[in-house]
């Protein structure tokens, strides 16, 4: 390696110093070749990605399955809408917005049908939050395969700006009767997907969302209307919403009993285990990229269903010692948070890991702690520390922890 190495302080002082140093190591310095001077192409009503960029979701089972966000190819915190992961159990229904109706009934004073334009007239709000599948990270639990990208491991989480009407506003309109403790949110997809939601969450921050990152929700995300329950397992955020019923007890639908229970090692089962724990993953450097000797910025995402991320620690020596990463502001509650940590690779074999703590003081468990608490084969809400093994030849492999 002929590249000049920067000191840590220099790197921290000057990001452009790093760029200059890398450039100087690889190329002779000189003015860039002049552009041709010919005008570029004209624009179109819709813009496109730069021709050299091809980020894409990995598809697993096309009819009922998951498409995964390519976390290792993205910067910042907002997931581009066409790269938002998708999970569905019965395909993506085509819902005609002009014929759309939301029925609200049950233990309420005024059973009501809302058209989409009526919902859009109600006071609205915008919230940035992640949606994460309860089974996210399942590949890491089920196999020890090392050739996994960040998206392969944890790509069933995405972060968007959602706009809509607070479910509380709609419930105030229809008048909830005393005694209503739960509500059923049902979809109009082919499986009539339905979940029971406690009234406390419905009255707290539940959103009936019609907007995603500034435009109507994508068909795959539940167009024209979905439930968004910030911080809760994605499976409870019912898409293609059709019906809300208020009642005294949960309905125990197939979609909440055949799946989504947490089975503990001591044999007990947690039903309605909604909130997701603190979690993080280093998105770079990560498989399939390689590293060479010198300075790198370790980058990753952290999030928690309990609120804000308070701290992310990084270990560059396989968990022996930990240092705090820098968190990008603003740190939003129940939203992806970007962390960064400068790392100088000296060429030795090691492993990189990240560990998140949320504002409630919950810490991401180790693989040993996590797997000791769970019944074997129970993959839901797995948030144990993930690692990346760095070999002395510069190759980087996923490591479960």
Ligand X SMILES: Nc1nc2c(c(=O)[nH]1)N[C@H]1C(S)=C(S)[C@@H](COP(=O)(O)O)O[C@H]1N2
Chain contacts with ligand X (rule: CB under 6 A): 84-89, 131, 133, 158, 187, 189, 193, 220-221, 234-235, 237-240
Q: Taking the complex as a whole, how short is the minimal distance between the CB of residue 253 and ligand X, in angstroms? A: 12
Among Mo ion, ligand X, none, residue 187 binds (CB under 5-8 Å by kind): ligand X
Q: Taking the complex as a whole, how short is the minimal distance between the CB of residue 238 and ligand X, in angstroms? A: 5
Q: Taking the complex as a whole, how short is the minimal distance between the CB of residue 66 and Mo ion, in angstroms? A: 8
Q: Taking the complex as a whole, how short is the minimal distance between the CB of residue 310 and ligand X, in angstroms? A: 26
Find the distance separating the first CA and the last CA of the chain, reported in whole Å. Answer: 31
Contacts of 246 (CB under 8 A, 6+ apart): 104, 105, 106, 107, 108, 171, 176, 177, 180, 182, 183, 199
Q: Taking the complex as a whole, how short is the minimal distance between the CB of residue 358 and ligand X, in angstroms? A: 20
Task: Give the C-alpha separation, 401 to 386, whole Å.
Answer: 5
Task: Report CA-CA distances (Å) from 202 to 173, 181, 243.
Answer: 14, 10, 14
Q: The dihedral of CA 366, 369, 371, 373: what is its sign? A: negative
The secondary structure element, H or E, covering residue 161 is strand 157-166
Among Mo ion, ligand X, none, residue 244 binds (CB under 5-8 Å by kind): none
Which residue, 220 or 359, has its beta carbon nearer to ligand X?
A: 220
Of the candidate spans 27-35, 226-234, 316-324, 331-339, the one that interacts with Mo ion by CB under 5 A turns out to be 226-234
Among ligand X, Mo ion, none, residue 279 binds (CB under 5-8 Å by kind): none
Which residue, 201 or 239, has its beta carbon nearer to ligand X?
A: 239
Among ligand X, Mo ion, none, residue 237 binds (CB under 5-8 Å by kind): ligand X
Q: How many other CB atoms are there within 10 angstroms of residue 43's CB atom? A: 7
| Contact criterion met (CB below 8 Å) for 187 and 241 | yes
Contacts of 53 (CB under 8 A, 6+ apart): none
Q: Taking the complex as a whole, how short is the minimal distance between the CB of residue 201 and ligand X, in angstroms? A: 15
Among ligand X, Mo ion, none, residue 240 binds (CB under 5-8 Å by kind): ligand X
Which residue, 18 or 236, has its beta carbon nearer to ligand X?
A: 236
Which residue, 133 or 238, has its beta carbon nearer to Mo ion?
A: 133
Among Mo ion, ligand X, none, residue 296 binds (CB under 5-8 Å by kind): none
Among ligand X, Mo ion, none, residue 212 binds (CB under 5-8 Å by kind): none
Task: Give the C-alpha separation, 23 to 218, whole Å.
Answer: 41
> Nearest-CA neighbor of 89 among 165, 170, 192?
192
Task: Report CA-CA distances (Å) from 377 to 74, 155, 279.
Answer: 31, 20, 20
Which x/- pattern, by CB under 5 A, does the window 71-110 give for Mo ion?
A: ----------------x-----------------------
Task: Give the C-alpha separation, 167 to 153, whole Å.
Answer: 33
Residue 67 interacting with Mo ion (CB under 5 A): no
Residue 234 interacting with Mo ion (CB under 5 A): yes
Among 133, 236, 332, 390, indicate the residue that binds Mo ion (CB under 5 A). 133
Q: Taking the complex as a whole, how short is the minimal distance between the CB of residue 202 and ligand X, in angstroms? A: 16
Q: How many other CB atoms are there within 10 angstroms of residue 90's CB atom? A: 14
Which residues, in sequence order, are bridge partners of residue 299? Answer: 284, 340
- What is the DSSP code string of 165-183? EEHHHHHHHH-BPTT--EE
Q: Taking the complex as a whole, how short is the minimal distance between the CB of residue 194 and ligand X, in angstroms? A: 8
Which positions touch Mo ion (CB under 5 A)?
A: 87, 133, 234-235
């Amino acid at each position: 390696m002929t590249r000049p190495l920067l000191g840590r302080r220099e790197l921290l002082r000057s990001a452009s110093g790093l760029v200059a140093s890398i450039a100087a190591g690889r190329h002779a310095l000189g003015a860039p070749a002049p552009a041709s001077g010919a005008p570029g192409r004209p624009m179109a009503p819709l813009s496109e990605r730069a021709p050299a960029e091809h980020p894409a979701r990995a598809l697993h089972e096309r009819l009922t399955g998951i498409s995964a966000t390519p976390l290792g190819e993205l910067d910042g915190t907002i997931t581009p809408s066409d790269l938002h992961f998708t999970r569905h159990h019965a395909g993506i229904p085509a819902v005609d917005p002009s014929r759309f109706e939301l029925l609200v009934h049950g233990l309420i004073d005024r059973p009501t049908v809302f058209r989409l334009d009526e919902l859009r007239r109600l006071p609205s709000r915008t919230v940035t939050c992640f949606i994460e599948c309860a089974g996210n990270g399942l590949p890491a639990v089920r196999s020890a395969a090392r050739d996994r990208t960040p998206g392969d491991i944890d790509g069933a989480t995405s972060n968007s700006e959602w706009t809509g009407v607070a479910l509380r506003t709609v419930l105030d309109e229809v008048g909830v009767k005393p005694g209503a403790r739960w509500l059923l949110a049902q979809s109009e997809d082919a499986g009539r997907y339905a979940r029971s939601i406690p009234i406390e969450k419905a009255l707290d921050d539940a959103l009936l969302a019609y907007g995603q990152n500034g435009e109507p929700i994508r068909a795959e995300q539940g167009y024209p209307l979905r439930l968004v329950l910030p911080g809760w397992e994605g499976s409870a955020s019912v898409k293609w919403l059709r019906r809300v019923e208020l009642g005294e007890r949960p309905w125990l639908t197939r979609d909440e009993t055949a799946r989504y229970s947490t089975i503990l090692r001591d044999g007990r089962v947690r039903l309605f285990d909604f909130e997701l724990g603190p979690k993080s993953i280093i998105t770079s450097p990560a498989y399939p990229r390689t590293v060479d000797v010198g300075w790198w910025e370790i980058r990753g995402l952290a999030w928690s269903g309990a609120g804000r991320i308070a701290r992310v620690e990084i270990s560059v020596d396989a968990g022996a010692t930990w240092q705090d990463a820098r968190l990008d502001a603003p740190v939003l509650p129940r939203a992806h948070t970007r962390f960064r940590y400068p790392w100088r690779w000296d060429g030795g074999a090691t492993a990189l890991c990240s560990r998140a703590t949320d504002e409630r003081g919950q810490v991401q468990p180790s693989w040993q702690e996590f797997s000791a608490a769970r019944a074997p084969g129970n993959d839901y809400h797995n948030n144990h520390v993930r690692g990346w093994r760095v070999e002395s030849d510069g190759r980087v492999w996923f490591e479960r922890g």
